[in-house]
Amino acid sequence: MLHVTTDPLAEAAAALAANPAKAERLARTLSSRDPADPRPRLILASALRRLGRPAHALPILLDLARAWPKAARTRYELGLALCGVGRGQEGDQQLDTAVAIDPRHAEAWRAIADRAFACGAVQRERRALAALARLDADHPDLGRAAELVALDCHDEADPILRSFCRAHPHHAEGARLLAACHIAHRTVHAAETLLRHALSLDPQSKRIRFDLAHALFAARLAQQALTELAPLLAAEPDNPAYLNLQAACLGLLGDDKAAEAINARLAEAFPANPGVAVNHGHAARTAGLRDTAIRAYRRATILAPHMGEAWWGLANLKIGALSDADEAQMRGLLGGSLPADDRMRLSYALGRRLEDAGDAAGAFALYAQGAALARVKFGGADQDYAAQAHDVCQLYTPEFLAARSGQGSPDAAPIFIVGLPRSGSTLVEQILASHPAIEGTMELPYIGSLVGRIEREGGATRIASASPAQLRDWGEEYLALARVHCRLGRTHFIDKMPNNFRHIGLIRLIVPEARIIDVRRNPMAACFSGFKQLFAEGQEFSYDLEDLAAYYRHYLAIVRHFHAVAPGAVHTLVYEDLVDDTEGQVRSLLAALGLPFDPACLRFFENDRAVRTVSSEQVRQPIYRSGLDQWRKFEPFLAPLAQGLGDDCTGWRA
């Protein structure tokens, strides 16, 4: 008969993860047999810590650390035990010592990353994740690239990964990391292709599936992202990265209460992380929970006083949430050393505070300072808008449109609201969404995504050669994606992406029965309002007055073209007229949409639907005139804007 000899020490160590109580019993027995052997004592201490008794583990570990100061595993356990008894700073020092002794100690790096996330130490967390990424790689080049990706150095990682993937086309992790570079560079379609390839090579990889979900979210395909995320959440329902992405997807789909609830749960689980608090503030604001949003932003400013995003969150509520004390604190912060992102957001926040206080010169200087930083961060517009408008006019002639009349999807559900940001489009959306036949959704990205794909396939040539079946397919594709956001079963829905004015021609081809509303505002007011607004992403033209002027003229040229070649296709509503004669303009607008007047549209401020734009608080109150001429206080600083607008500065209504 074969007898298997079991190593009691190995058995005790193996029991730690799944059965720490057993590990404790075995370790105590082994320690009593040989008190001089440190190994059973280390296992005993680890078992006690895992059983929730770090105070009992601590004396053992302190003795071991004194006797064997170069033992990385002991330092790791000591660090966790110290953290467990509330001595976090000492615990972090021990974890740092553990990885200094053994830079390949993955468990210690993971503990450092987890603790850094809990307190919002972003750079410390990033360094730990970079070390883990390097350790996990099976090739030196891949390890270096993985480290760079974790450190957010995608430009440096990209050439390494391209070379690696050419040499190893079936390496799943290489494809995953290269996809991360594509996401950082906003070539999301390429990232999705790489990640689906990687997942086919390694279907069980949680990292690849999570990155695919993230890529789909970046492409604004939230429902598909949630599908990929579902098995990950089923396995790890408390994983903060999974929950954060789930909340973002739900917010994109319009389930704002669920998104806020998840963010509230994360804020409760990680009360020391200011980034989590800010996310909760954003979610609460969108859900209409103003007081909750203020508390969340305030908490973030206490946890991380330098955090510009929290200050801008308060300022961007546009309800005068900042105090004299806040102003003094922000001035002090801007007088010191700050990361560029925080300085950018604080500049806008303090600018808003000074504008509210009547200091136009001081406010404009800060807006200009913030805009200069935003232009560096997001990139300048650097586009030939006149040439783009010319190309649109050349393609969409009366003959071209007439030849394709009646093609596309016949669905009349969509109502597109287009124009410049900060021109009153959110107000018009709120008015229309108060009508029982119309549902407000959000700024849907799907026309822009479709245009991006068409551009990759040939642009104007691809559109000109599209068959009736192709135009209908594009229309049906758009409608299928947009309807995910429709929850009320109403006849019409609103797509409020303002930049869709650039795609009026394509909209006419693929959903010819859709209504298009152009919301137009005095260019000095609209452009300055955009200039002083820090947008979450995009709108690169808004950070320079001359770019703003060129973009406004580009917008006018395109809308005017479609008024000429397709009369009645676009209904222009002037914001100033809406303020002066709200009922008359609302009646005219509804008539243009083929809908009866409903008095609820005049009480739009009672509509408690979620509003996702920077005007969320403004449209929850009756129309007021005070904002019409706010720009005039800044007129002395707006000469480049007026000059760039040329004749359209006064002839913009034409």
Instruction: Domain count for the chain, please give it.
Output: 2
Q: What is the CA radius of gyration of the chain?
A: 29
* CATH for 161: 1.25.40.10
For the residues of 159-220, what is the DSSP string, one character each? HHHHHHHHH-TT-HHHHHHHHHHHHHTT-HHHHHHHHHHHHHH-TT-HHHHHHHHHHHHHTT
Q: How far apart are CA 635 and CA 360, in angstroms?
A: 10
Question: What pLDDT, in 10s, does the model give residues 262-277?
Answer: 999 999 999 999 999 9
Q: Is residue 152 part of a domain?
A: yes
Give the end of a domain, one of 156, 183, 210: 183
Q: How far apart are CA 233 and CA 350, in angstroms?
A: 40
Specify the 3-state DSSP secondary structure of 328: helix
Question: What pLDDT, in 10s, does the model give residues 367-421?
Answer: 999 999 999 998 876 789 999 999 999 999 999 999 999 899 999 999 999 999 9
Q: Is residue 566 part of a domain?
A: yes
Q: Is residue 240 part of a domain?
A: no
Q: Is residue 456 part of a domain?
A: yes
Q: How far apart are CA 262 and CA 256, in angstroms?
A: 10
When pLDDT is cut at 50, 70 and 90, the band that residue 2 belongs to is very low
What does the buried/exposed string (b/e) look like for 371-397 if buried means 16 or more CB atoms within 10 Å of the residue's CB?
bebbbeebeebeeebeeebeebbebbe
Strands 570-574 and 515-520: parallel
Give the end of a domain, one of 167, 183, 199: 183
Q: Is residue 326 part of a domain?
A: no
State residue 532's pLDDT score: 96
State residue 608's pLDDT score: 66
Contact 177, 189 (CB under 8 A): no
State residue 616's pLDDT score: 47
Question: What pLDDT, in 10s, does the model give residues 331-352?
Answer: 999 999 999 999 999 999 999 9
Q: How far apart are CA 429 and CA 434, in angstroms?
A: 9
When pLDDT is cut at 50, 70 and 90, the band that residue 5 belongs to is very low
pLDDT for residue 232 is more than 50: yes
Give the max Cα distance, the chain.
102
State residue 4's pLDDT score: 44
Give the end of a domain, one of 161, 183, 205: 183
State residue 609's pLDDT score: 56
Partners of 86 in beta bridges: none
- DSSP-derived letter for residue 595 is -
The domain of 57 spans 8-183
Q: How far apart are CA 67 and CA 463, in angstroms?
A: 76
- % of the chain residues with pLDDT over 90: 89
Q: What is the pTM of this model?
A: 0.88
Q: Tell me which residue of 49, 91, 94, 48 sits closest to 69, measured CA to CA.
A: 94
Per-residue pLDDT, averaged over 151-166, amounts to 96
Residue the block writes with tokens 């957010």 = 152
Q: Is residue 373 part of a domain?
A: no
* CATH for 635: 3.40.50.300
Q: Is residue 252 part of a domain?
A: no
Question: What pLDDT, in 10s, does the model give residues 201-228?
Answer: 999 999 999 999 999 999 989 999 999 9
Question: What pLDDT, in 10s, does the model give residues 588-638?
Answer: 999 999 999 999 999 988 876 555 555 445 554 567 666 788 899 999 999
Q: Is residue 424 part of a domain?
A: yes
Per-residue pLDDT, averaged over 50-67, amounts to 96
State residue 380's pLDDT score: 73
Q: Tell me which residue of 357, 360, 347, 336 sits closest to 309, measured CA to CA.
A: 347
